[in-house]
Amino acid sequence: MSSDNTTDGGSTDALTKTREARMGAGLDDRFNSKLREAFGASPFILTKFDKFMNWVRGSSMFMLQFGIACCSIEMIHTYAIKHDLDRFHAGVPRASPRQADVIIVPGTIVSKFAPRMKRVYDQMPEPKFVVGMGSCTISGGPFQEGYNVVKGAEEVIPVDIHVPGCPPRPEALIYGVAKLQERIANGESSPVTVKPYELEQFGDMERDEVVDQLADQIDEDTLAMRYNWADSP
């Protein structure tokens, strides 16, 4: 965009003159919009479609209404009055993952919840982005040593932006979302991460002691997630 052509002090005389010289004076008034003047002499914007789409994606984000733990309270505060995330093109939360393209993971993920979170993530349409909110989604946070705590959201789903804090202040979350928008607008894709915990059919799991033990309890077609606590960070 050539918006830097506007002259100082709000005067657009020079532009108007150039345009009149090109298009002839006395044309219809509706062409003389502020926007036109801002664009400069040419009435067209030239950009790559990809770039345009990236800009659109970053400027109109549909967040998933997804609360887990303490961070979700600060997340609600970020959506609510005073901080109002809506101002930053990251609109009203959507209750259904099928309508959302950004998921904020706000809290500790425990063994029972990780498969469910994976399912919710899988239900979101591509392209989708993930903001990990709080220390728990980075490493398990203060509960890292717990027997039931998944050591970070990245064990289950890929994460684009990590916002540290316990919990992060609303300002920090807004900054994280703004950073995500910047990345999307620049066309940067989410980092490729190794996700050790996959949701798979129980029958497909590698046979080992634990799987053998549970074989008579769990149906072959049932989806399941296997946690290797010993290898966790």
Partner 1 sequence: MSLEPVRDDTLDADGNVDPQAILDLLGDRVLDIEEHMNADIAVVVRPDTVEETLLALRDEAGFDHCSLVTAQEYEDRYESIYHLKQYDDPTNEVSVVVPATKDDPVSQSGNAAYRTCDWHEREAYDLVGIEYENHPDMRRILMPETWQGHPLSMDYDQDRPQVVTLGQHDNPLKDDIRDEENDTMFINIGPHHPATHGVLHVKTVLDGETVANVESDIGYLHRCEEQVCQNGTYRHQIMPYPDRWDYVSAGLLNEWAYARAAEDLADIEVPEYAQVIRTMGAELCRVAAHMLALGTFALDVYGDFTAIFQYAFRDREVVQNILEELTGQRMMFNYFRLGGVAWDLPEPREDFFELTRDFLDGLPGKLEEYHDLITSNEIFQLRCVDTGILEPEVAKSYGATGPVARASGVDYDLRRDDPYGYYDELDWDVVTEDGKDNYARVLTRMQEVEESAKIIKQCVDLLEEWPEEERTIQSNVPRTLKPENDTETYRAVEAAKGELGIYMRADGTDKPARFKIRSPCFSNLQTLPEMAQGEYIPDLIASLGSLDIVLGEVDR
Contacts with partner 1 by CB under 8 A lie at 65-70, 72-74, 76-77, 80-82, 95, 107-108, 110-120, 142-143, 145-149, 166-167, 169, 199, 202, 205, 208, 210-211, 213-214, 217-219, 222-230
The secondary element (H helix, E strand) that includes residue 22 is: helix 13-23
- Residue 38 or residue 218: which is nearer to partner 1 going by CB? 218
Using only the alpha carbons of the chain, give its radius of gyration.
Answer: 24
- Max Cα–Cα distance, the chain, nearest Å: 86
**Least Å distance between CB 119 and partner 1?**
6
Q: What would the two tokens of residue 52 be?
A: 């345009």
- Residue 44 or residue 147: which is nearer to partner 1 going by CB? 147
**Least Å distance between CB 110 and partner 1?**
6
- Residue 81 or residue 192: which is nearer to partner 1 going by CB? 81
**Least Å distance between CB 142 and partner 1?**
7
- Residue 17 or residue 119: which is nearer to partner 1 going by CB? 119
- Residue 59 or residue 123: which is nearer to partner 1 going by CB? 123
**Least Å distance between CB 111 and partner 1?**
5
Q: How many CB atoms lie within 10 A of CB 103?
A: 24
DSSP 24: -
CA atoms of 170 and 161, how far apart (whole Å): 15
Nearest to 165 by CA among 188, 194, 197, 131: 131
What are the backbone dihedrals phi and psi of residue 94, each rounded to the nearest 5 degrees, phi first? -100, 135
What are the backbone dihedrals phi and psi of residue 72, each rounded to the nearest 5 degrees, phi first? -65, -30
- Residue 41 or residue 215: which is nearer to partner 1 going by CB? 215
**Least Å distance between CB 120 and partner 1?**
5
The C-alpha angle with vertex 141 and arms to 177 and 67, in degrees rounded to 5, equals 50
What are the backbone dihedrals phi and psi of residue 47, each rounded to the nearest 5 degrees, phi first? -155, 165
**Least Å distance between CB 37 and partner 1?**
37
